[in-house]
């Protein structure tokens, strides 16, 4: 998928440097080495979320999830097709009672839980094509395994309002997802929620299409999809890639087919 905005040079800088960008791999290794030595309020907060208050109760899943939505920062991009990943994060935060009020690693964060599982909601502020510059360091700092990093993004190969939840795959020419994968060892083993936005009509420019807002009919489909997406993410966090996720994908695939 093509780059939809011109990214300023400052957006490509590592959060650890003020002069020049670093390769994702080098920065990730530096952060991994530094993580055990750092003790901040944020880290203590996520540790508290992960604690089990009642020892007699069923043990909670201690491994946190990092749930990131891709998009472009700034009010002028709000409501555009390219920003449905951000909207998905906002909807999860609203429904799960998580406040997005923390800034770290060029990201807006919300720290809370889904059920008893600690989650870190992430909206990278580094522009969509450099989302990995924010997600990679966060995953290293909070020591979140790859299997617990969920990336949510717009997908032109799916009809508007159709969702697809997968445990792995390629980047499908989505530059933002590609950058995230590059900053996570270029692994395909990265869970993702694709949010269908349809494809440009006729010969419409792809960039113009991605930065376009939805029509009223399309917006209704997207709002419905976001609600369904919250349920799917909750199921994934609590149960993993179970049979219910397979059924979810099947229902999504045929949701607009007439019988």
127 is known to lie in a ligand binding site: yes
CATH number at 80 reads 3.40.50.1470
- Its domain, for residue 160, covers 21-40+63-253
Q: 55-105 pLDDT, tens per residue?
A: 344 344 478 999 999 999 999 999 999 999 999 999 999 999 999 999 999
Q: What is the mean pLDDT of residues 103-118?
A: 95
Q: Confirm whether 55 is domain-assigned.
A: no
Its pTM surpasses 0.95: no
Strand order in the sheet with 163-166: 100-104, 107-114, 117-124, 65-69, 149-155, 192-196, 163-166
Q: Confirm whether 51 is domain-assigned.
A: no
Residue 240 or 17, more confident:
240
Q: Confirm whether 10 is domain-assigned.
A: no
175 is known to lie in a ligand binding site: yes
The total domain count for the chain is 1
Q: Confirm whether 111 is domain-assigned.
A: yes
Lowest mean pLDDT among 26-40, 100-114, 139-153, 209-223: 26-40
254 is known to lie in a ligand binding site: no
Q: 31-49 pLDDT, tens per residue?
A: 444 444 343 444 444 443 3
Model confidence at 14: pLDDT above 80:
no
Active site residues: 82
Q: Confirm whether 6 is domain-assigned.
A: no
């Amino acid at each position: 998928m093509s780059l939809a905005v011109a990214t300023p040079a400052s957006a490509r800088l590592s959060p650890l440097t003020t002069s020049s960008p670093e390769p994702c791999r080098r920065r990730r290794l530096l952060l991994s080495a530094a993580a055990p030595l750092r003790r901040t309020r944020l880290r203590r907060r996520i540790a508290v979320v992960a604690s089990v208050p009642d020892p007699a109760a069923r043990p909670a899943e201690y491994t946190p999830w990092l749930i990131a939505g891709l998009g472009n920062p700034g009010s002028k991009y709000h409501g555009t097709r390219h920003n449905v990943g951000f909207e998905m994060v906002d909807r999860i935060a609203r429904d799960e009672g998580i406040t997005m009020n923390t800034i770290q690693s060029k990201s807006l964060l919300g720290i809370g839980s889904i059920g008893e599982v600690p989650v870190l909601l992430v909206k990278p502020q580094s522009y969509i094509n450099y989302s990995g510059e924010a997600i990679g360091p966060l995953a290293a700092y909070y020591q979140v395994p790859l299997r617990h990093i969920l990336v949510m993004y717009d997908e032109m190969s799916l009809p508007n309002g159709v969702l697809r939840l997968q445990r792995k795959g390629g980047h499908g020419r989505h530059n933002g997802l590609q950058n995230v994968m590059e900053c996570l060892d270029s692994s395909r083993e990265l869970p993702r929620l694709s949010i269908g936005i349809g494809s440009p009509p006729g010969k419409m420019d792809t960039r113009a299409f991605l930065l376009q807002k939805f029509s009223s009919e399309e917006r209704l489909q997207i709002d419905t999809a976001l609600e369904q997406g919250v349920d799917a993410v909750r199921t994934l966090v609590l149960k993993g890639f179970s049979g219910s996720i397979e059924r979810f994908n099947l229902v999504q695939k045929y949701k607009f087919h007439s019988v």
